[in-house]
Structures are given as C-alpha cells and as structure tokens.
Chains A and B, each alone.
Chain A
C-alpha cells in the first residue's frame, strides 16, 4: 500500500519534471522540436501535407522527420517495422501517424498492432468534444475515453478445443490495470478534469474485471482530488446515448474501450473528426487519425484533414505547447463553424487544399 502510494507519487513527480524537460529540450536544440511523421497510405500523404502547411503558418517550432512504415521481415522471420523508423521514434519520442492500410492475407499482422507492440503503447486516449458547426443529434459532448491497449480481450489467444468449440482468452493483469489507471488519473489531473469513471462488467466477469476495478480503486486513493466512480458497461452505453454530458473521463479494458471510444466518436460526428493518441512506456507517444485510408478519394484533393489536425493539436498539448495548440484548434473550429469552406464529408464542396488554406489564413490573422 505504502509502496504503491510512493510509486504513484514518484511517477507524478517524474511526470511533472518531464514536462519542463521537454520544453527545455526544445530550447536547447535551437528551439526546434523534432517529430516523426508517418504519412501512411491512401489519403495519408495529402492530409499530412495539410497539417504541415498549417503548422508552418502558425510558426510552430517543430521540424518533421518523415518515415515509412511497411513491415519487413527481420532475422528469424519475425515481422518488424523498418529500423530507421524505430530509430527515429526512439530519438524523438513523439510521432504523428496517418491511416495505414492493412492488406488482407499479406502474411504479416496489422501495422498498427506492430507499432503498438514495438513501442508498448499501452494507453489509447480519445477526447471527444462536440464540434460547433458540425451538427449531430448530440450537443455538448465533452468526454475522454482512455482504453487499455495491450491486453484484455485482444490478447489474440484462441484455441479450438474440440471441433465446433472455440475458446478465446481474455487476459487481465495487475500491472497493466494499475498502469492504465495511473495514466487515467494523471491525465485527468493534468487536463483539469473532475472525475474518472471505471467501466467494467464485474458482475459477470468477477475475477478479471474485479481485478481491474480493484486496481482502479487503489490508484484512486492516491488521487483524492479527482472523483472516482464505477459503472457497468451496459449502464454506460444506456446513459451515453441518452445524456453524454454526464461523463468526463472513462477508463476501461481493451474491448469495452474499443466499442465505447467508437460510440463516442459517433456521437460527435464520426472518425473523420476524432483525434486519438497512443501513449507508451518510456515516454513515447504516437498521435494518429483513426479513420481509414479512403482509397476511393486518395489523390483527388477531397480528403478532410480535421482528424489528423486535431490529433496534432493533442500532440502539441502533450508536448507542452498549449498556446500553439489552442491557436490551431480555434482556427479549425472557426472554419467549420462558418461553413463557408468545408470538405465533402462535412457537407461542403471545397477541396482539401482550400480548407487547409482557410485554416492557415485564420491562423495567420490571429497573430
């Protein structure tokens, strides 16, 4: 108990100490922070270009290092990401990723899974905020889903016991549960959120979700300033579609997180406008857009860069550059609110480049 408190205090101190280090690092390297950029496939390259252009007009002190992520087979036949990408990420510790194509029957696991395993990206954070100007039946949504990303139902351990009976194993470990709970509370504290809700199904899965819940409760003890509640998954779903304003930060295991984070994305308008961040051990963080590669509109200048842009804003906040983040986010939301220049999926007829140019103009006018 005391060691847990000491450990969380230490991580809080380290976390607090890390932030000024990030800023000071940028000061030391002539004010420029390097970020690994992975454009991805399909519409990935054009939306990455859009984001780079907007960052340029906002004069954000970031330099981009573009890398490609295509699976290669390393020694021993194990699939891995290219070594230059890994080296770049290990150095910069921050990444921005566009959509990646997962070819079927390519023989290798999905690239997202490879990235997750390589950098131990244990937390997936998705803030869902209603976008003014993009009308959905739900207004005033402002919640964050934090999902455990390494274990749970997605451990991939399945067996055929006898012909016609399949067993799939859901793994819950103490360490992973504690880690995600700590991250959730720290996130809540750093972003001035009031409460954290653990989502579970411990009435049915007594031992597994029970363990997850116990760890959350233990961590909650060290964060007395944040309100902690627990709620069943079905109750959360029920209340989410009736009144999403009652939720603040939600923390949960893998499968529930997958479903709930997509549910929340649907509330604010879909994956085309939802940012997402993956936090790993050792300070690595990769921010990404979670929509698909949209091969049908690739190269036609019709893509909507909002998801990648908002993920980049999340990245700026993570790096401590809150002012730049606020500036770009405001410009983006103002553009969408005005409805003059909107891409096809948001209901307008403009091109991606026109949308980008409009945001750049607003950013420049703000200075």
Chain B
C-alpha cells in the first residue's frame, strides 16, 4: 500500500519533469499502479510503439466513404493512428458485440451511423443506441459554431450542446398492454441527471463559458423533467461563477430560430437533445459541418453530430466530409 502510493507520487513528480522521452513508460507505469489501487481510473490508451490504435466503424450510407477520406488524410499527414476496422451489419447481434469489444480494447472509436430499419420487430434494438448504452457513453457533446464563409441566415452562433445520451426517451422500453394501446417508458434517474449536469458545468468552466441553460418540459412532465431540473440546480449551486437558467423546450426552439446568439451552453435530456442539436446544426449550415462526440467515463466515440446515414447521397461523391474530418480532429485532441 505504502509502496504503491509512493510509486504513484513518484509518477506524479516524473510527469511534469519529462520532456517526452520518459512519458510513455511513466504514463503506463503510473496508470498500471493507479489502476491497481483504485478501480475507477481511466484505462491506459491503446498506444503501442508511439502509435495509437482506434476502432473504426464504417456504418451504412455515407459512413464508409467519409471514413475513407479520413484515413486518406491521416495517411497523408502521417498521423500516428492505426485504425482497426470493424464492420457492423444491421442484421446480427455478433457484429455489434465485436465492435463493442474492439472499443473496449482501444478506448476510442470513430464511427459512421448504422442504419436502423424500423420495419424490423421491436426486439431488434437500434445498433447505435446499443453501443451508447453498453459503453455508458453518457455525454453527447456538440459544438455549433458559425463557420466563416458559410452562408447562413444567422451569424455569430457559438453554442455547446450537452445531451444526456443513455436514458430518457431512448430507453427502448415499450409494451403493448392492450391491443391497440402502446406504452413507451421514459426513464429519468437522479444519478444520470447529476452526472450529465456535472459534466456540463465542468466543461463550461474548462472552456471559459459564462452560462448554462437547462432545457426541459417540466411544466408538463412534472416528475421526470422536474427531477432533471432539480439535479441541474443542485449542481449549479456548486459553480457560482457560471450563471444557470432553465428554458422550456418549445420556447427554446422558438428562440433558436429567431435569436440563437443568446445561448451559450445547453444541457438537456435525450430527446430534446436530439431536436435542439439538429436545429442548431441546421442553423450553422447543415449536417455536413458539425462534429459530435460521445464521452463516457472510460471510452470516447466520435461521429458526425446529427448522426445521419445519408442513404440518398451515398456513393455519389457528393457528401460533405467536413463533419467527419472535424470529428477526427476532436478525436486527436482527445488522444492528445
């Protein structure tokens, strides 16, 4: 116990001193030691011989061609990243399990959207959703910024959207109690709401943002969204330097199309996150421009923000690769 704590403090001292040569050894050593001590630290990155390994899931539609562009660009720029390609076919369970194992192994993934045929029976869950919930990628972060040179109706937009990614309306718990009556459950838990609020405020502080807005519909869903709002308020109390306010989702969409410059950081449950992130992506220029990232405690998966399969424009060489390229840049930032 004493030896490991000494080793831990030693690695903490080595880290600021090194100039990069001892880095890998120290990091692995420090990480191994600390992982033995506390189970909750992040597993070591899959970095062998100075090159990272990243899982690549091409998906359907425009996914494969966009990811090919990313690979080409990486090769051209001599980026020390190797891709482990895992193809996921929508039909079987095995493919998605392989993908999940690969991501657990590598820690980081870059993916295209996997199509969900909603003509299949309800027991066949959405592959993307399955991936997110199994790996507990609880935060979906999207940064919408007006890009210079892109003609849009609104300018100077700079909104960060943090969306709860695992529960809410996407719990896939449905049943037909009586013939002709279907119930779908929306689950909100205190733990997850606190977690996402904590993530949002921490990110806001890191990026030097001034205000966090919680988006909800607590006037109608008093218990569910009420719990979410309460958790946000509790977390906000611990961050007095960041202003906090709440807005109802329909008012939010109305404000977004008239005055989007008023928003800074927004945090919300799953479904509203879907709507708001798509509205914001549309405001800054479309689905081809905005990257998105899904962060969990241990894993990170990067993709385009609006998660479109783009079947209608697949294989025609007209898809905009910007979103996927920016997502790969976010991934490189994450890999440091």
Instruction: Tell me the A residues contacting B by CB distance below 8 Å.
Output: 136-138, 153-154, 156, 158-160, 163-175, 201-208, 210-211, 213, 233-235, 237-242, 255, 258-263, 265-267, 270-271
When distances are taken between beta carbons in the complex, the residues of chain A under 8 Å from B277 are 234
Interface residues of B in 159-204 (CB under 8 A from A): 169-170, 172, 174-176, 180-191
Q: Which of A206, A238, A240 contacts B306 (CB 8 A)?
A: A238
A163 to B308, CA, bound (A): 37
6 contacts between A and B (CB under 8 A): A166-B189, A168-B221, A204-B116, A207-B122, A242-B286, A263-B254
A88 to B255, CA, bound (A): 38
A172 to B227, CA, bound (A): 24
Contact B122 A210 (CB under 8 A): yes
A259 to B116, CA, bound (A): 24
When distances are taken between beta carbons in the complex, the residues of chain B under 8 Å from A171 are 181-184
Q: How far is the CB of A234 from chain B (nearest CB, A)?
A: 4
When distances are taken between beta carbons in the complex, the residues of chain A under 8 Å from B184 are 169-172, 205, 207-208
A57 to B189, CA, bound (A): 58
Please list the 5 inter-chain residue pairs (A to B) with the smallest Cβ-Cβ separation, ordered nearest first. Answer: A164-B190, A266-B254, A241-B282, A174-B180, A262-B250
The residue among B221, B256, B306 with the most chain A CB atoms within 10 A of its own CB is B221
Residue of B nearest to A234 (CB): B278
Contact A172 B182 (CB under 8 A): yes
When distances are taken between beta carbons in the complex, the residues of chain B under 8 Å from A172 are 181-182, 184
Instruction: Tell me the B residues contacting A by CB distance below 8 Å.
Output: 116, 118, 121-122, 124, 126, 129, 153-154, 169-170, 172, 174-176, 180-191, 217, 220-224, 227, 249-251, 253-258, 271-272, 274-275, 277-279, 281-283, 286-287, 306-308
Contact (A164, B189) CB under 8 Å given A158-B224, A242-B282: yes
A213 to B119, CA, bound (A): 11
Q: Which of B187, B191, B258 contacts A270 (CB 8 A)?
A: B258
Contact (A259, B253) CB under 8 Å given A158-B221, A165-B190, A169-B185: yes
When distances are taken between beta carbons in the complex, the residues of chain A under 8 Å from B283 are 241
Contact B253 A205 (CB under 8 A): no
When distances are taken between beta carbons in the complex, the residues of chain A under 8 Å from B180 are 173-175, 211
When distances are taken between beta carbons in the complex, the residues of chain A under 8 Å from B278 are 234-235, 237-238
Contact B223 A206 (CB under 8 A): no
Residue of B nearest to A256 (CB): B275
Given A164-B227, A175-B180; 20 other pairs, CB 8 A cutoff: A138-B153, A158-B221, A164-B189, A167-B186, A167-B187, A169-B184, A171-B181, A205-B172, A208-B182, A234-B274, A235-B308, A238-B278, A238-B286, A238-B287, A242-B282, A259-B250, A261-B250, A262-B253, A263-B279, A266-B258
When distances are taken between beta carbons in the complex, the residues of chain A under 8 Å from B185 are 167-170
A34 to B318, CA, bound (A): 59
A221 to B73, CA, bound (A): 49
Where chain B touches its partner, the secondary structure class is mixed
A346 to B271, CA, bound (A): 33
Residue of A nearest to B188 (CB): A166
Contact A170 B169 (CB under 8 A): yes
Q: Which of B118, B223, B279 contacts A237 (CB 8 A)?
A: B279
Q: How far is the CB of B162 from chain A (nearest CB, A)?
A: 17
Q: How far is the CB of A244 from chain B (nearest CB, A)?
A: 9
Contact B282 A238 (CB under 8 A): yes
Q: How far is the CB of A235 from chain B (nearest CB, A)?
A: 7
A273 to B331, CA, bound (A): 45
The residue among A136, A171, A237, A261 with the most chain B CB atoms within 10 A of its own CB is A237
When distances are taken between beta carbons in the complex, the residues of chain A under 8 Å from B191 are 164
Contact A237 B187 (CB under 8 A): no
Residue of B nearest to A110 (CB): B219
Q: Which of B121, B181, B224 contacts A173 (CB 8 A)?
A: B181
A234 to B282, CA, bound (A): 10
Q: How far is the CB of A49 from chain B (nearest CB, A)?
A: 28
Q: Which of B126, B190, B255, B256 contacts A204 (CB 8 A)?
A: B126
A165 to B154, CA, bound (A): 39
Q: Which of B174, B181, B221, B308 contacts A205 (CB 8 A)?
A: B174
When distances are taken between beta carbons in the complex, the residues of chain A under 8 Å from B118 are 202-203, 206, 210, 213
A123 to B27, CA, bound (A): 62
Contact A240 B227 (CB under 8 A): no
A267 to B283, CA, bound (A): 12
Contact (A153, B186) CB under 8 Å given A170-B169, A173-B181, A238-B286: yes
A166 to B223, CA, bound (A): 7
A267 to B154, CA, bound (A): 12
Q: How far is the CB of A160 from chain B (nearest CB, A)?
A: 6
